[in-house]
C-alpha cells in the first residue's frame, strides 16, 4: 500500500484558505479520486504546532491519500490533474512537498 | 482528533536502519503508547520518491500517531520519552521534524 503525502510548508508569506480547502477543494479531490480502483482512504490535517506547544508547525496543512499502489494513485489522479492543480490558487500560494511512501505499518 | 507526525528528513549523510526501526523501535513505541487512553492508530512509512518517479523523497521515513487529543498523546508519550529517545541512535542520526496536527477529514 502507498500513502501519497501532500505537505504545505509553513513558509513566510504563505497563504492558505482552510475554508476553501476543506469545503471545496478536498471534497472535489475525494469525489474524483475515490471512485478509482485501489483507493483506500484519505486524511486532511491542519498543523497545530511543532514538537513543543506554541512553536510553529513545519507544515500549515497536510493531506494523505492511501492507495493500493502508486500506479493506482496515478491512474486516479492524472485524468483530473489539470482541474485539481487549477483550483490550488483558490486556496494557497504554497508549492507543496509531494511524496510517495510505502506503508510499512498500519494499525 | 490529532495526528502527531514524526518525519525524518532525507538529508545528506542521513543514516536510517529500517530493520531496527520496523522490527524493534516501532513495536516498542506502539506497545508503550497504544495502551493509553485516547490511542486511535499508528502508521509508518518509507519514503519512495518525490512527486516524480525517481526523484528523492523529502523524508526517508514518516510515522503518524493518531490520538483523541494532544493531551492524550503527551500523557502516553512522556512517561516513555527517555526510553524511546534513547533508542533513536540505534536506527538513525536524523533529527526528526515533529508536528501536531488537527485532523479535519478522515475517510
For B46-96, write each residue's pLDDT tens digit: 999 999 999 999 999 999 999 999 999 999 999 999 999 999 999 999 999
Res. A59 pLDDT band, cuts 50 70 90: very high
Please write the tens of the pLDDT for every residue from B2-14.
999 999 999 999 9
Mean pLDDT to the nearest integer, A19-31 = 98
Closest CA to B95 of A35, A51, A80, A101: A51
Mean pLDDT to the nearest integer, B3-30 = 97
State in Å, rounded, how far the first CA of chain A is from the last one: 13
User: Would the CB atoms of A62 and B97 count as touching at under 8 Å?
Assistant: no
- Say how far apart CA B83 and CA B92 lie, in whole Å: 15
- For A47, the closest of B41, B45, B101 (CB atoms) is B101
Model pLDDT, residue A23: 98
B56 and A CB contact within 8 Å: no
Model pLDDT, residue A40: 98
Q: Number of C-alpha atoms within 13 angstroms, CB side, residue B91?
A: 19
User: Would the CB atoms of B48 and A102 count as touching at under 8 Å?
Assistant: yes
- Say how far apart CA B8 and CA A26 lie, in whole Å: 26
- Say how far apart CA A19 and CA B56 lie, in whole Å: 32
Three-state DSSP class for residue B85: helix
- For B26, the closest of A2, A3, A105 (CB atoms) is A105
Q: For residue A104, what is its C-alpha cell?
A: 510499512
Model pLDDT, residue A8: 98
Model pLDDT, residue A87: 98
Mean pLDDT to the nearest integer, A36-45 = 98
Model pLDDT, residue B83: 97
A29 and B CB contact within 8 Å: no
Mean pLDDT to the nearest integer, A36-53 = 97
Model pLDDT, residue B25: 98
User: Would the CB atoms of B103 and A45 count as touching at under 8 Å?
Assistant: yes
Amino acid at each position: 500500500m502507498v500513502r501519497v503525502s501532500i505537505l504545505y510548508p509553513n513558509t513566510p508569506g504563505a497563504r492558505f484558505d482552510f475554508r476553501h480547502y476543506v469545503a471545496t477543494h478536498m471534497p472535489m479531490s475525494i469525489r474524483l479520486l475515490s471512485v478509482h480502483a485501489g483507493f483506500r482512504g484519505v486524511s486532511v490535517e491542519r498543523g497545530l504546532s511543532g514538537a513543543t506547544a506554541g512553536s510553529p508547525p513545519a507544515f500549515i496543512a497536510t493531506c494523505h491519500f492511501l492507495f493500493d499502489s502508486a500506479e493506482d494513485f496515478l491512474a486516479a489522479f492524472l485524468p483530473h490533474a489539470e482541474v485539481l492543480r487549477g483550483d490550488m490558487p483558490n486556496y494557497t500560494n504554497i508549492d507543496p512537498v509531494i511524496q510517495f511512501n510505502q506503508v510499512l505499518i498500519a494499525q
